[in-house]
Amino acid sequence: MLDRITFITLGQTPRSDIIPEVANALSEHVDINELGALDGLSHDEIRKLYPKPDDKALVTRLRDGTQTVIGKRWLELRLQSLLDRMPAKSKQLSVLLCTGDFSSLSAPGLYIDAQHLVDHGVKALCYTAKSIGLVLPLRRQIDEHHCIVSPDQKLLHAVASPYLADDFTEAGRSLSDCDIIVMHCMGYTSSQRETVAASSGRPVLLSRKLVAAGLSQFL
């Protein structure tokens, strides 16, 4: 049994938009801790981390609720430094709450990368699907995105940020011909999922729900 889970996010803590919903699937006896890659940085410092043209872009949320876009190269170094501080104890778990590809990262103890959990979960749940719709926060992520699919599966995309007043009704409508839709960012909420499901008429997988379900198996 675990007695402590540390959630590591790309933005600033506390993540009141994610952690309470994920925690609902966990035992009340588990101590929850949060670390953010942008904790302690000013807005000016954060603006300088915007990705260069040859870098990949990640979207996250600041403490005040606003959106920011960060380059992957800097984030990899910062996240690894946070993971290096995690204890190598069997009853403590570190969880990276991002569906971006950070497969090069490691931690001393038990560690879950949400991207692995989500992508392999999607592969299993969408095994018989002929077409999969992906909702992503940024248009440039369509070309940068990774997704584990079979060669005969068709991928369609819609763009809507979880942190802006984007049109999730239109995102759902644009993917209504897909067999199943995946909202591929930890920032997407249950309310946004319901909007996409209602407008598309298709089953919709929410990344944070997949992660919460996986974490519940540790308890």
Residue 108 has a pLDDT of 93
The pLDDT assigned to 219 comes to 76
- For residue 214, what is the enclosing H or E element? helix 207-216
Q: What is the pLDDT of residues 99-157, one digit of tens each?
A: 999 999 999 999 999 999 999 999 999 999 999 999 999 999 998 877 777 888 999 99
Q: Tens digit of pLDDT for each residue in 147-188? A: 777 888 999 999 999 999 899 999 999 999 999 999 999 999
Q: Give the chain's mean pLDDT.
A: 94
Better-predicted residue by pLDDT, 216 or 162: 162
In the chain the first and final C-alpha atoms are separated, in Å, by 5
Distance of CA 166 to the CA centre of its chain: 18
Q: Are 199 and 177 a contacting pair, CB within 8 Å?
A: no
- CB count within 10 Å of CB 155 equals 14
Map tokens 């990705």 to a residue. Answer: 51
Phi, psi angles (nearest 5°) of residue 52: -70, 165
* Residues 70-95: tens digit of each pLDDT: 999 999 999 999 999 998 877 899 99
Sheet with 110-113, side-by-side order of all strands? 31-36, 4-9, 92-96, 110-113
What is the model's pTM? 0.94
CA dihedral for 197, 67, 148, 218, sign (positive or negative):
negative
